[in-house]
Structure 1
């Protein structure tokens, strides 16, 4: 079961995407998904956020937007808790001042916690791989009976995971249907009925982009994690296709003039030109290339998973025939034949290996835990160990046995 299925259970993915996604909010209650209350602490805890704020942020310089404070729906002036340090846009965070403001009713937003907390980063990576878009995570700490941000809507879909306490949410239909970042207008008035949702610890709330929402903590402090799912609308995809056509097809570069300035265009000629251009636009192979480019852009910054690689490099020589290994992301491994060579690609790495390694490689890259002794014939024991050790060094394989090195 994927992480998304675990989060949304008992709602299956097909039902979610056909009836809920971009259409309505969804509240997953503890009674319906009791496993969620056990899953969330493994991703992030209040103690993790405490250490991030009071230890990591208490020393050195940080980005000025690493955190922000709000109170009663208003953003507090950064000068109230930040001071210059390290040059623009780096600052030093006055953590004692942050905590003082929190004690007096200010809410704390910790931005991009997926960059600092490995488990949250792994969650965002997995969701990003599924959706093919950027997924980020912010953490929100709100004192009892307090409101952080004002009533607003987002231009990305959000998944709220309640870690501690509870929050009362008011959700309304969108004043702007499926807005993109360029369409964010804070003055847009909400319309439609208000739905009240009490989000308790161990519960999830999905809110589509455009839906107006406001959250107020109950009589205890509230801590929740928000996952932001960046949209990739059809219009953006077609823009990329048109960019390629502009570069490669002269008909798309022809000027509409001199007919552009005439009061009456030749309707038949206009319709014929549009039909000709539209036919070239509807090219599934070209659209597929644009989609592949989007997915590659999401994969490229991360490359192979690096966390723990130093330990694996240090202990790689301890691999034995019974050492269990696995590839962390089998869905991101590409394999193709070229003559007597096998091309293996993952992240930003590409390897050319002998073709006779294909059978053991397909098992090693399948995602299941496996050891050298379980690999098929074709390589002797020494060859199997050499192959596994190289893939560990390259960052493709990791140790699956918790008692093994790393």
Structure 2
């Protein structure tokens, strides 16, 4: 099977370089891909100083001043998740919100040994969002981020495995990690560890593959399926988990099958009813298999696959007031650039992005292709009418002075 070539330049694939090797692994991309990606854990001591990304101060601000609601915060203790009602309350006068995080209840639970789980930090904390966007661009797989804040000598969860790869980034304090080999290698997203609870418990009693303490600046990469449990040591531990939701061959097979089935809707024989009195499909199976195999051989799953990819993440933030100002003041010398993390792809005369698609006449395609290089362009170079259209669509953004 081959995916037909598309007329595109994926700018996102060109702009992400540096996060994986410089900040997380200290291995070049080829070495990491060959020896560790999806294969084995990798511990990198002193990978970087991540104080620019997250901190104890960030935890306090998010909980006390950002008006978080569930599920942006979870709490867990002794391997179990606490009820949301135990740490949320009404937002008070002027806001009809009943599940806002209650900082006093959070403090009491934390003081009693509960772990705080700040979920989807790529949506609530800008430095984490920037790191996640760059990493996801570089890997070509969707990435999300959680933070785990654990009191001294406490743990949040029992031994388990994740259905996504993770980079564990220790921010503050220390935490002991115990890693065991998989009981179910490369689990799919609908194959959680709870389906194999007894196997996980038995494996956790055996000899560990890795037993280590992470200190601030250390990074641990774990492929999906590897068993792990962690416990804070003598001080509060804060770590980020960068979860990589890997695209798999099984996912590609799903897109291929869906594309083939869509094509078979146009086949009159396949739309036909089975004969009356048929006790089983054996008589019809040969025909169905033949037509299905032919459709699989001829169909192109690339458009559906890329559409699914675009739907797995969001583009970079867009300020509506700055955007309106750019439209109102548009001039030939206005500097513009492609919005980050759009997954912009030109397929024929249609530009596909995470914010929708736009069709262009033949005479505009050269300018649109030029945009995909990721450089800054002037509205005059692009054409004022075309530039305004792309600004209004949220595809272009002001590039600044």
Q: Per the alignment, do residues 322 and 4 of structure 1 end up closer, same or farther by CA in structure 2, a change over 3 Å counting?
A: farther
Counterpart residue number, 2:81: 75
* Greater mean alpha carbon deviation, residues 208-217 or residues 124-133: 124-133
Seen in structure 2, the aligned counterparts of structure 1 residues 3 and 395 have a Cα distance that, compared at 3 Å, is: farther
Equivalent residue number for residue 322 of structure 2: 311
Question: 1: distance between equivalents of 2:177 and 2:107?
Answer: 25
CA distance in 1: counterparts of 2:288 and 2:323, whole angstroms:
58
- Residue 149 and residue 89 in structure 1: after superposition, are their counterparts in 2 closer, same or farther (change >3 A)? farther
Q: Is the 8 A contact 2:326 2:398 kept in 1?
A: no
- The partner residue of 1:46 within 51, 56, 61 is 56
Q: 1:275 to 1:394 in 2, by over 3 A?
A: closer
Tell me the matched-pair count.
Answer: 370
Closer, same or farther in 2 for the Cα pair 1:361/1:169, shift >3 Å? same
1:75-105 CA distance string (max 9 Å, x none): 3344432347799995233211211221232
Structure 2 residue aligned with 1:16? 32
SS in 1 for 2:300: helix
Match of 2:375 among 347, 368, 372: 368
- The structure-2 alpha-carbon separation of the partners of 1:397 and 1:241, relative to structure 1 and needing over 3 Å to count, comes to closer
1:215 to partner: Cα distance: 1.0
**What corresponds to 2:12 in structure 1?**
none
1:328 matched residue in structure 2: 339
Residue 172 of structure 1 and its aligned partner are, at CA, apart by 0.6
Q: CA RMSD in A?
A: 3.9
**1:317-360 CA deviation, whole Å, 9 max, x = no partner?**
5566665432233873334676xxxx544333444556555555
SS across alignment from 1:52: helix
Q: Is the 8 A contact 1:241 1:281 kept in 2?
A: no
Look up the SS of the partner of 1:100 in the other structure. Answer: helix
- Which secondary structure does the structure 2 equivalent of 1:120 belong to? helix
Alignment match, 1:298? 312
1:230 aligns with 2:238: no
Work out which of the residue numbers 100, 109, 112 in structure 2 matches 1:104.
Answer: 112
Unmatched segments (≥5 aa) in structure 1: 376-382
Tell me how far 1:14 sits from its aligned partner. 2.5
> 2:8 maps to what in 1?
none
Is the alpha carbon distance of 1:230 and 1:54 closer, same or farther for their aligned partners in structure 2, counting shifts above 3 Å? Answer: same
Match of 2:375, SS state, is coil
* Matches for 1:53-68 after TM superposition, within 5 Å: 53-57=63-67, 62-63=69-70, 65-68=71-74
Residue pair 1:337, 1:355 contacting (<8 A) in 2 also: no
Structure 2: 5+ residue stretches without partners? 1-16
Structure 1 range deviating more: 43-52 or 212-221: 43-52
1:380 equivalent in structure 2? none
**Equivalent residues of 2:149, 2:238 under 8 A apart:** yes
Q: 1:139 to 1:365 in 2, by over 3 A?
A: same
For the 8 Å contact 1:246–1:253, the answer to whether it is kept is no
Query: Residue 295 of structure 1: CA displacement?
Result: 2.1
Which residue of 2 is the match for residue 193 of structure 1? 207
The Cα offsets for residues 152-211 of structure 1, whole Å up to 9 and x where unpaired, read as 111222221222222111111011122224332233235363111322222221111111
Identify the range of structure 1 (135-144 vs 354-363) with the bigger mean alpha-carbon deviation.
354-363
Query: TM-score under structure 1 normalisation?
Result: 0.75
Distance 1:201 1:234 in 2: 36
- Match 2:294 to one of 280, 298, 301: 280
3-state DSSP of counterpart to 1:178: coil
1:25 counterpart = 2:41: yes
State the secondary structure of the residue aligned to 2:157: coil
Aligned counterpart, 1:378: none
With 306-315 and 93-102 compared, the bigger mean Cα shift is at 306-315
Q: Deviations over 1:246-273 (max 9, x none)?
A: 451656999797567xxxx99xx99x78
Give the drift of 1:223.
0.9
